[in-house]
Copies of this chain bind each other. A is one copy, B any other.
């Protein structure tokens, strides 16, 4: 059969009608107590969700709500809603649940009296940190750093990027100014009224299709959907094209190679152009390893190597935003570790499955003065303790290997369905379980996602017509089987 060529993981695969694509493994869930399968009892959203929606929507704009969940009952990879519908969750709170719901190792974290008190007595960690803060930053965060020696903690993805952007500007101005040169009086006075030279005309280069957050500076580098950006003032910052590849990659090497070159050339052109004319000079490049919200757009290691070379050549910082891609879902702790960069990027930002926001950075990106990267809390020790438990589970259970096994099966299964229905699906892609496939158009995509939900499988949408999978790291082969079965059924219904 055609798909036997695809991948060694297919060995032992059998195909009996549309029901089972790949051989089943025995069900031994990594999170005890999981149901065996989804079970849908009502419409989705069900009547209880609908009633709660009315209540919530009277309090704020709640049009984005899909359903109300019962987090007391949800378990492992299964989200259980207020109508007792049981969903296999392959979206996991927009990719932010690392090891499933109600993991026993997380439920016990705050039985430790010290950790409970660290949670309750949330300190201003930049002024009065707790006694184990340095040790915890080192043993928990620096322990998983992608080769960068420094780390700052923040609260969420947006504020991690906002603060990292400032670090890019600081370091750029520091290089311009020269080592140990103090701020001028004019800089100090002019910045207070938002004017140059103290508030310099500088920019960050971002990419079409990018998503880095919705606060105003991160939004100026976000270019995925108009509804995020409409009516918000912005900066005149350069935007380059991110590669758009043809799939399958192995059949389109030359075109995709040329796409890389074109995009890299544009990046360099923009940096040169913004340095010359009245546009603000580029102080840094910000980029996702995979454009997630923008449609799971991947780029090659070669592209990222090129970006880094351009950044170095022009003396601008390189920030890789791993808010969505980080923490193992691609089979490596950080997605950019797939790129074989010659040195770590200058900054790597994180949040979501890290539970705490923050960023790793080089010594060059470290501000010389205190209070420049600062806020009241600068992170939250309570989140750090939860992350500690998460990272222990990832290590003990070899979840990155699990991700590769599950991802291999999932990707192959989706590719198989795509091959059978090339009019409906295309461009199966991704690494680990961080996978996506395109529907032929937006309407079909939305229909597939909605039908999957009615069959008890939650997946995400991204870009114009992509379906994204963002399961937790405890998503196993038997979960993949269920997802593939439901996808196959759905495709059979919409074809």
Which A residues are closer than 8 A to B by beta carbons? 48, 52, 55-56, 59-72, 74, 79, 82, 93-94, 96-97, 101-103, 106-107, 109-110, 113-114, 116-124, 126-131, 133-135, 137-138, 142, 150-152, 155-159, 162-163, 165-166, 169-170, 172-174, 183, 187-189, 191-195, 198-203, 208, 213-217, 220, 223, 225-237, 239, 280, 351-352, 355, 366-377, 382, 386
Query: Complex: how many Å from CA A102 to CA B151?
Result: 28
Question: Which residue of chain B has its CB nearest to the CB of A170?
Answer: B231
- Which of B74, B102, B235 is close to A194, meaning CB atoms less than 8 Å apart? B235
Give chain B residues whose Cβ lies under 8 Å from the Cβ of A372.
61, 227-228, 230
- With beta carbons under 8 angstroms apart, the residue of B59, B138, B159 that contacts A59 is B138
- 10 chain-A/chain-B pairs, Cβ below 8 angstroms: A60-B151, A65-B129, A71-B130, A93-B122, A106-B120, A191-B234, A192-B223, A193-B239, A215-B215, A228-B371
B64 close to A126 (CB less than 8 A): yes
Contacts of A130 in B (CB 8 A): 68-71
A63 touches B216 (CB 8 A): no
Could you tell me if A215 and B163 are in contact, using CB atoms closer than 8 angstroms?
Answer: yes
Known: A64-B374, A93-B377. 9 other contacts (CB 8 A): A48-B131, A62-B126, A96-B376, A156-B159, A194-B237, A214-B374, A215-B215, A217-B217, A230-B372
The closest CB in chain B to the CB of A376 belongs to: B94
Contact B69 A192 (CB under 8 A): no
**Are B93 and A123 interface neighbours, CB within 8 A?**
yes
Q: Are A74 and B121 in contact (CB under 8 A)?
A: yes
User: With A117-B71, A127-B66, A370-B62 as given contacts, are A198 and B101 in contact (CB-CB < 8 Å)?
Assistant: no
Cβ of B377 and Cβ of A71 under 8 Å apart? no
> With A72-B113, A97-B121, A127-B94 known to touch, is A217 a contact of B214 (CB < 8 Å)?
no
| Beta-carbon contact of B215 and A169 below 8 Å | no
- Copies of this chain, count: 2
Please, which residues of chain B bring their CB within 8 A of the CB of A68? 128-131, 133
Contact B116 A70 (CB under 8 A): no
Say whether, besides A52-B131, A107-B120, A129-B69, A183 and B230 are in contact (CB < 8 Å).
yes
Q: How far is the CB of A285 from chain B (nearest CB, A)?
A: 16
Inter-subunit contact A229/B198 (CB<8 Å)? yes
Complex CA–CA separation, A343 to B395 (angstroms): 56
Question: Separation in Å of the A462 CB from the closest CB of chain B?
Answer: 13
Question: Once the chains bind, are B155 and A159 in contact (CB under 8 Å)?
Answer: yes
A266 → chain B, closest Cβ, in Å?
14
6 closest A-B pairs by beta carbon, nearest first, are: A63-B370, A216-B217, A194-B234, A55-B134, A199-B234, A162-B215
> In the complex, what residue of chain B is closest to A370 when comparing beta carbons?
B63
Whole-angstrom distance between the Cβ of A323 and the nearest chain B Cβ: 8
**Cα A82 to Cα B133 with chains together (Å):** 12
**Closest B-chain residue to A381, C-beta based?**
B71
Cβ-closest chain B residue relative to A97: B121
> Once bound together, how far apart are the Cα atoms of A193 and B162, in whole Å?
19
- Residue of B56, B151, B376, B386 touching A134 (CB-CB under 8 A): B56
Contact B121 A55 (CB under 8 A): no
Let me know if A376 and B64 touch, CB within 8 A: no
CA–CA, A67 and B133, complex, Å? 12
Q: Which residues of chain B come closer than 8 Å to A63, judged between CB atoms?
A: 369-371
Are B170 and A198 in touch, CB under 8 angstroms?
no
Which of B156, B217, B230, B377 interacts with A376 by CB under 8 Å? B156
Q: Which residues of B contact A133 (CB under 8 A)?
A: 52, 56, 68
Q: A364 to nearest B CB, angstroms?
A: 12
How far is A93 from B122 in the complex, measured between Cα atoms in Å? 8
Nearest CB in chain B: distance from A211 CB, A: 11
Query: Does A64 contact B370, Cβ atoms closer than 8 Å?
Result: yes
Closest to A386 in B: B120
CB distance from A42 to the nearest CB of B (A): 15
> How far apart sit A355 and B119, CA to CA, in the bound complex (Å)?
11
Q: A155-B159, A229-B191, A231-B170 are in contact. Are A131 and B70 (CB under 8 A)?
A: yes
Partner of A370, one of B48, B61, B71: B61
Q: How far in angstroms is the closest Cβ of chain B from A440?
A: 23
Q: Given the complex, which residues of B lie within 8 Å of A188, measured CB to CB? A: 226, 230
A236 to chain B, nearest CB (A): 6
Could you say which of B118, B123, B192, B226 contacts A191, with CB atoms under 8 Å apart? B226
How far does the alpha carbon of A109 sit from the alpha carbon of B120 in the complex, in Å? 9
Pair B162/A94 contact, Cβ less than 8 Å? no
Nearest B residue to A165 via CB reads: B216
- Given known contacts A93-B122, A110-B110, A375 and B229 CB-to-CB distance under 8 angstroms: no
